[in-house]
Amino acid sequence: MMIHVASFSSRQMDEPTPMENSWLLYAAVTAVCLLLTFVGQHLLLSDELYFNALAEQMTYEQIQKTIAQSHEWAWLGYSIVPLVNLLKFTMVASCISLGYYFAVDRWVFKPFFRVVIQAELVLLLPSLVKLLWFLFIQTDYSLQDLQFFYPLSLLNLVEPTKIAPWLAYPFQLLNLFELAYWVALAYGISQVIEIPMPRAFGLVAASYGSGLLIWVVFIMFLTVSMS
């Protein structure tokens, strides 16, 4: 995708928002992510849910052991959330920075890193919607329902068990929240480097969009290889 960026402005590129503010924002977003994960684990997942899902595959004792091990290692899942977030923010910001570098031959990272963290707030909304949905609307649910539910996504318009496993992730990724995330990225970029929204969205599509496509293909390949 060609991007016409001759009029990109570099205002404030030499004086970006202090990186320490970005770290505070990163800590806040990660804290909200951890809170949503913790609440979801404790309010939505139950031993009965695991028994119903695994009853045909394991004995009662095996299921008990599996549940006990999941509780024992639950801390590991929480502990890697900050690292996963940091890697994600860094990779997305790097993709955008690389796209900007190819456009104007200038490497900028810190302002884009902050934009990426701010935009992540949009992607926390599906977790909140999922929590409220199963707490107050679909109160009778299975483990499979939890695994495949993603609000406002293409996956919710089809029967997950009737599509190939390698299609589940791209179907989940095609959702309105992801589109809103792209818009949030484009808006943040347009404010940082003072360009119109269409051009900023083009930069997001060419940089982050390309990286996302590679990631999706990689996940699909892994799914096919492991199935």
Q: Are 33 and 85 a contacting pair, CB within 8 Å?
A: yes
Residue spans per domain, the chain: 19-226
CA 26 to chain centre: 14
pLDDT tens, per residue, the chain with 227 residues: 444 454 444 444 444 444 668 899 999 999 999 999 999 999 999 888 888 888 888 888 888 888 888 888 888 889 999 999 999 999 999 999 999 999 999 999 999 999 999 999 999 999 999 999 999 999 999 998 999 999 999 999 998 888 999 999 999 999 999 999 999 999 999 999 999 999 999 999 999 999 999 999 999 999 999 87
Report residue 20 as tokens.
């320490």
Considering only CA atoms, which of 40, 29, 33 is closest in space to residue 117? 29
β-partners of residue 175 are 153
The pTM (predicted TM-score) of the whole model is 0.88
pLDDT given for residue 15 in this prediction: 44
pLDDT given for residue 161 in this prediction: 82
Q: Look at residue 194 and give its three-state secondary structure.
A: coil
pLDDT given for residue 63 in this prediction: 85
Burial of 96 (0-12, 13-18, 19+ CB in 10 A): buried
pLDDT given for residue 74 in this prediction: 85
